[in-house]
Amino acid sequence: MKRWALGLSVAVVLGQFGCGSGNSSSPSGTDASGNGDDSGQGSPEGSTPVSEAGGGVDATTPASGEAGSDGGVDATTTSSQDAGGDASEAAAPWSPSSLTGLVLWLDGHEGLGMTDGGSDAGDGGPGVLWMDRSGNGNNAVGYGPAIEPAALDGQPAVHFNGTDYLLLQDSTSLNWGTNDFLLAVVVQHTTYVDAGGSTYGALYSKQIYNDPPYQGVGLFANLPGGSSNILEQLNEYGSTEVTSGGSGYNDGAPVLVVIHRSSIVLAVDGGTDAGDAGASDAAPATLGTMAMLINAMDAGYATGSGYAENVDSPDFPARIGGTQAGQDIVGDIAEVLAVDGTVSPSDLQNLQTYLMNKYGL
């Protein structure tokens, strides 16, 4: 680390930004292509949610019962015991619902179905409706995609054909400002890599798309210019991007992609004024760190002031699987989660383990 001259001491501390309130808000933005207004209240009439065949339990569900009958505690029970030596109660399996600041949870196993009213302008046919499990009402409405009941590891997902997307109305819970945040997507895709750079696909995009520096958050399945790396973007490209070290992610193999922002405050102590023994008058500098993880492995990392910028994009909806500019993927998305706020290392590990076990990654 660089040592500062002139007697200044530099302390780098992790900035703990406030988590999102978790309150739902009314939609305030609409898409130029039109969309069905989604109240987020319950399932629509005639909906047919997709559920797991046979009600199967995934790999994260603990086995029931103890191996021994007298005081034995197995791996799925708590270590606390009562006076008789028996385990007091079984520990519940970890769930994303325990994440503080969870603002979006689209799960192909629950809340994925069809709604009347049509997904395409003038179509009048059924469209996809994906209900948000976070409690914030950030439900996703399909503009063209279909439900694939056995996609990733034989499990349900939304299928995109390169010309469609899901839309989420603008919400305060999806505007993360200068807070820490996390975004996770489980996807498999074969999006064509266009050397011209105009058809690379968006896994998630909530950006002010018509006005540079395109403020907001974007996660793209390919890069412009013919690369099959994964790209994270905050605001304007360049100083706010992280690109995966590996490539070839458009081979149709399922992957878990996580991007995670944590902020660093560079505080200056010791005082700069003559005779001043207190803190410096200079405002602390704020840096941001963006990390990308693919299948729980480090895939990209960068630190700089650009990564700490405000990413609010008020009045602009979020899109999954595509953008307003036609940057649409070919493939399947099975799960999308977002957290507004700081995510602890243990929760990050728990989330990745949960999703990788769930989809056999």
The CB density around residue 5, as the number of other CB atoms within 10 Å, is 6
Mean pLDDT of 284-305: 93
Confidence of residue 79 (pLDDT cuts 50, 70, 90): very low
Per-residue pLDDT at 44 exceeds 70 = no
Proportion of the chain above pLDDT 70, given as a percent = 65
Lowest mean pLDDT among 27-36, 92-101, 172-181, 222-231: 27-36
Mean pLDDT of 163-184: 95
Confidence of residue 5 (pLDDT cuts 50, 70, 90): very low
Determine the Cα–Cα distance for residues 315 and 30; give it in Å rounded to an integer: 8
Mean pLDDT of 162-186: 95
Q: How far is residue 355 from each of residues 57, 256, 284, measured CA to CA in Å? A: 13, 8, 37
**Sign of the alpha-carbon torsion through 218, 220, 223, 224:** negative
Confidence of residue 352 (pLDDT cuts 50, 70, 90): very high
List, for residues 209-250, the tens digit of each pLDDT value: 777 778 899 999 987 767 889 999 887 666 789 999 988 898
pLDDT of residue 311: 93
Per-residue pLDDT at 184 exceeds 90 = yes
pLDDT of residue 78: 38
Mean pLDDT of 7-30: 35
pLDDT of residue 127: 87
Per-residue pLDDT at 74 exceeds 60 = no
Domain regions of the chain by residue span: 103-272+288-361
Mean pLDDT of 257-280: 71
How many helices and strands (H and E) does the chain possess?
1, 18
Amino acid (1-letter code) at residue 235: N
Q: Are strands 140-143 and 255-269 parallel, antiparallel or unpaired?
A: unpaired
Confidence of residue 280 (pLDDT cuts 50, 70, 90): low
Per-residue pLDDT at 185 exceeds 90 = yes
Q: How far is residue 347 from each of residues 98, 100, 102, 295, 303, measured CA to CA in Å? A: 9, 10, 12, 15, 22
- φ and ψ of 279, to 5 deg: -70, 155
Length of the chain: 361
Lowest mean pLDDT among 15-29, 200-214, 233-247: 15-29
Determine the Cα–Cα distance for residues 231 and 308; give it in Å rounded to an integer: 17
Question: Mean pLDDT over all residues of the chain?
Answer: 74
Determine the Cα–Cα distance for residues 158 and 166; give it in Å rounded to an integer: 9
pLDDT of residue 239: 77
pLDDT of residue 294: 97
Confidence of residue 162 (pLDDT cuts 50, 70, 90): confident
| Statement: 103-272+288-361 belongs to CATH 3.90.1150.10 | no
Mean pLDDT of 112-129: 64
* Cα atoms in the 13 Å half-sphere on the side-chain side of 151: 26
Mean pLDDT of 318-346: 91
* Global confidence as pTM: 0.71
Provide the CA 177 distance to its chain's centre, in angstroms: 15
pLDDT of residue 210: 77
Per-residue pLDDT at 307 exceeds 50 = yes
122: left (phi over 0), alpha (psi -120 to 50) or beta: left
Q: Which two tokens stand for residue 305?
A: 């002031």
pLDDT of residue 163: 85
